[in-house]
């Protein structure tokens, strides 16, 4: 079926057994300028966006930058650190997003709305990168929901506390919000381009590998058209609004949202 000796990456869309490698030329900046850490991380993100996470190797990233793999070690201590840097860079894109950066000038709900949509935009822009966010260990080990960028956490907490949340309520809100956000986006991204890329199966290979016996799942089959609808955007809005409503109640009651925890 597949070409023999495809190496460690069965996900990459190589397929044809012609010339070696086929590294996509020229990094986005195009400039031949000196390498630095920022350029290496940027190239890694562009590479992952184009080729997928599994295709990223030190050697291929080097080739992508017109350099031998060993040269990268001057800017990045190793592959793991490269991936950490990629996650951090992607999340920090948020701070270049004018829609998000207005801070809490129109109230905390508006701020959380804009932040959530900003994160969603990033997740959809880099669907191959986003799963890394969930699997990398957090920057500060004791920040529980590991949203990676401490700038996020800091600005989130101050916005809510400045709006009248108690410290406990702000922390609880941070947990609920980040859990919803990462959870929803991880799922949304995992069902998007990640595997159903437009031009897969370039040869005449039949796409379905070994379709499991569907006759055991009559309801799933009957509701196929409903199940295959992509309502992610609407579901995101709805779940986000619901969350904000819950937080509003918490704020109004001036308590942390623990069950059975009336007043204080």
In sequence order, the 6+-apart residues with CB closer than 8 A to the CB of 162 are 104, 108
By a kind-dependent CB cut-off of 5 to 8 A, residue 237 interacts, out of a second copy, DNA, none, with a second copy
Label residue 260 left, alpha or beta by phi (over 0 means left) and psi (-120 to 50 means alpha). left
Residue in the structure block whose two tokens are 């996020």:
152
* Helix, coil or strand: residue 24: coil
By a kind-dependent CB cut-off of 5 to 8 A, residue 47 interacts, out of a second copy, DNA, none, with none
Q: Binding-site residue total for DNA (CB under 7 A)?
A: 28
Distance between CA atoms of 3 and 44, rounded to whole angstroms? 26
26 contacts DNA (rule: CB under 7 A): no
The least distance separating a second copy from the CB of residue 131, rounded to whole angstroms, comes to: 5
The least distance separating DNA from the CB of residue 45, rounded to whole angstroms, comes to: 16
Closer CB to DNA, 4 or 96, in the complex: 4
Closer CB to a second copy, 26 or 186, in the complex: 186
In sequence order, the 6+-apart residues with CB closer than 8 A to the CB of 77 are none
Distance between CA atoms of 230 and 235, rounded to whole angstroms? 9
217 contacts DNA (rule: CB under 7 A): no
The least distance separating DNA from the CB of residue 212, rounded to whole angstroms, comes to: 21
209 contacts DNA (rule: CB under 7 A): no
Closer CB to a second copy, 28 or 74, in the complex: 74
The least distance separating a second copy from the CB of residue 18, rounded to whole angstroms, comes to: 23
Give the chain's count of helices (H) and strands (E). 12, 0
10 contacts DNA (rule: CB under 7 A): yes
Q: Which of 85, 93, 143 is nearest to 121 (CA)?
A: 93
Distance between CA atoms of 120 and 126, rounded to whole angstroms? 10
Ranges within 40-79 binding DNA (CB under 7 A):
56-60, 62, 67-71, 73-74, 78-79
By a kind-dependent CB cut-off of 5 to 8 A, residue 68 interacts, out of DNA, a second copy, none, with DNA
Count of positions (residues) in the chain: 264
> Where on the chain is the footprint of DNA (CB under 7 A)?
2, 4-10, 20-21, 34-35, 56-60, 62, 67-71, 73-74, 78-80
């Amino acid at each position: 079926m597949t070409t023999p000796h495809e190496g460690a990456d069965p996900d990459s869309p190589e397929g044809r057994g012609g010339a070696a490698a086929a590294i996509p030329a020229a990094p986005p900046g195009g400039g031949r300028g000196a390498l630095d850490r920022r350029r290496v991380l940027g190239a890694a993100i562009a590479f992952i966006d184009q080729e997928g996470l599994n295709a990223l190797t030190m050697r291929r990233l080097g080739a992508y930058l017109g350099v031998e793999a060993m040269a990268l070690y001057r800017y990045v201590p190793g592959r793991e650190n490269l991936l950490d840097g990629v996650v951090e860079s992607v999340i920090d894109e948020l701070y270049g997003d004018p829609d998000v950066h207005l801070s809490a000038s129109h109230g905390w709900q508006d701020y959380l709305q804009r932040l959530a949509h900003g994160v969603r935009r990033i997740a959809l822009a880099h669907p191959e990168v986003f799963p890394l966010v969930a699997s990398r260990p957090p920057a500060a080990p004791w920040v529980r929901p590991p949203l990676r960028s401490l700038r996020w956490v800091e600005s989130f907490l101050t916005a809510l506390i400045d709006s009248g949340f108690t410290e406990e309520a702000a922390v609880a809100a941070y947990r609920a919000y980040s859990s919803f956000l990462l959870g929803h986006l991880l799922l949304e991204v995992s069902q998007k381009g990640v595997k159903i890329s437009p031009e897969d199966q370039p040869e005449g290979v039949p796409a379905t590998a070994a379709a499991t016996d569907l006759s055991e799942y009559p309801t799933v089959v009957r509701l196929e058209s409903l199940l295959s609808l992509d309502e992610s955007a609407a579901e995101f809005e709805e779940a986000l609004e619901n969350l904000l409503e819950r937080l509003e109640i918490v704020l109004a009651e001036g308590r942390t949202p623990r069950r059975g925890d009336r007043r204080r």
